[in-house]
Amino acid sequence: MTDLDNRIVEFSTDHIPEKDRTAFWREHYGQVMLRVDLEPARDAAFVARIASLALPGLQLMDASSSPAKISRSGRFLADGNDDIIVVINRTGSANIVSRGHEQSLREGEAIVLSGGEAASFHRTSMGRSFTLRLPRAMFEQTVVNLDDALMRPIPGDRGALRLLADYAGWLLNAGTAIDQQLRNVSVRHVQDLLALAVGPSADFADTARTRGLRAARLKLAKAYVVAHSHRRDTSIGTLAASLNVTPRYLQRLFESDGTTFSEYLMAQRLARAHRLLCESGASRTAISTIAYDVGFGDLSYFNRRFRRQYGLTPREVRGD
């Protein structure tokens, strides 16, 4: 484990003089973290933004850049790293060359590469990509034939790929906000979803579907509720539409976790209200305002549920 593990590392060319951007990227990011070279397009200023997170068994990277060619060959291959690299092309166009073949990636499509083989990723327009890296041995435990998976585009309309992108993006954004145990479980979910997106072996498929898809969807569902709990129009219907599943499916997901959608939403609203009441200066805000701000439409109902949850009234928690 390095000193960069479990920590989000960000890079941007915004505040670097244009003439120094390529050299800075190569020295501080390409050579140290990615072990690749960079050749920007000659007819456009080079701009790039990168956020990466290294976890045990998984590295995530969200990157955008102007047209440029990123390649791994020669001296970089001498490091012996043979991680599996999965690139999801979110926006823009890109061409990938490896193993004597060339593939074009459209928006939403993904491709599997080997860090142990020469490859180039040529972004031909301004665009954004999401990259996952994991140990080869971990990948081989789930995929029937790795050679068949390499350089084979994964369609953007494949449900497991879309869910993988959403879940991995959530994990990267959450970063150190989640504890170590949850991060470890989340890494396993990402690995399962990746196997489903690429094409798992028959004996792994059922496990991945039940453990990976359901767990990942529940995690995304909870993240959606946390982010939207203050909205009074948040419902099982809006959540189902967001995840492209049925409301009944979501209800079963929450029930398998020992709760219901309504109770989980209620708990998030009450917890937010409790935090607001405990903040300094809370006495200047009316209880009704806090209740409405966290998503309640009825003050009496808010007071009853709050007291049932915490054993105290909102005013008692605030110290009125």
**Of 138-152, 206-220, 272-286, which gets the smallest average pLDDT?**
206-220
Name the residue among 163, 139, 36, 14 with its Cα closest to residue 86: 139
Res 256 pLDDT > 70? yes
3-state SS class at 88: strand
Interacting residues of 308 by C-beta distance below 8 A, sequence separation 6+:
none
The torsion region of residue 200 among left (phi > 0), alpha (psi -120 to 50) and beta comes to beta
Q: Residue 245 — pLDDT band, cuts 50, 70, 90? A: confident
| Integer Cα distance of 52 and 160 in angstroms | 22
Query: What is the percentage of the chain residues whose pLDDT exceeds 70?
Result: 91
Q: Residue 1 — pLDDT band, cuts 50, 70, 90? A: very low
Tell me which of 2.30.29, 1.20.1550, 3.40.50, 1.10.10 is the CATH number of domain 264-318. 1.10.10
pTM for this model (two decimals): 0.67
Query: Where in the chain are the domains?
Result: 264-318
| Integer Cα distance of 218 and 306 in angstroms | 25
Q: Residue 33 — pLDDT band, cuts 50, 70, 90? A: confident
Q: Residue 4 — pLDDT band, cuts 50, 70, 90? A: very low
| Integer Cα distance of 126 and 67 in angstroms | 6
